[in-house]
Amino acid sequence: MKLILTRNVAGLGSAGDVVTVADGYARNALIPNGNAIAWTKGGEKQIEGIRRARASREIRDTDHAKQIKAKLESTDFTVKAKVGDTGHLYGTVTDKDLALTIKSAAGVDIDRHKIKLASRIKMIGSYTAKVSIHHGVSADIKINVVAE
């Protein structure tokens, strides 16, 4: 089956690439997880938009990645969440929430899939997360979860 990748998939390709994979892999893994869309002649027009978006988010080189790492590690990120009487959150703080917080606080657009939490954030407090910025460059960021 011919697909257009919407995200980077390890061992397969980058966002905007046209790939051919087994039908089962496409139906069961790539399309349901939002990693790809079916290739069509109309979808061919979307490829350029996907590639432009990828280029705008892409880190240029290792020096640029180190600058972003320094900026992220020097910033404390605060996430506001709804909290019950015992300090437990209504739900969890997700990598999507952290990506939005990073973008608003530091002005850096990070793909949510590059943010790794050691454990689920379900209570108020201070946490750390690892952000993969570039090959071999990652930042440990400080997250403070406070009541809304």
Domain definitions of the chain by residue range = 2-57, 62-147
Crossing angle of helices 62-73 and 95-106, rounded to 10°: 90
Region of poorest pLDDT, from 20-24, 62-66, 83-87, 113-117: 62-66
Higher-confidence residue of 47 and 31: namely: 31
Instruction: Tell me what the mean pLDDT of segment 72-94 comes to.
Output: 89
Q: Is 67 exposed, middle or buried (0-12, 13-18, 19+ CB in 10 A)?
A: middle
CB atoms within 10 A of CB 6: 19
Q: What fold characterizes domain 2-57?
A: Ribosomal Protein L9; domain 1 (3.40.5)
Q: What six digits make up the tokens of 60? A: 């240029």
**Mean pLDDT confidence for 114-136:** 88
Measured CA angle at 49 (ends 47, 54), to 5 deg: 95
**CATH architecture of the domain formed by 62-147:** Roll (3.10)
- Residue 56 in this model has a pLDDT that exceeds 80: no
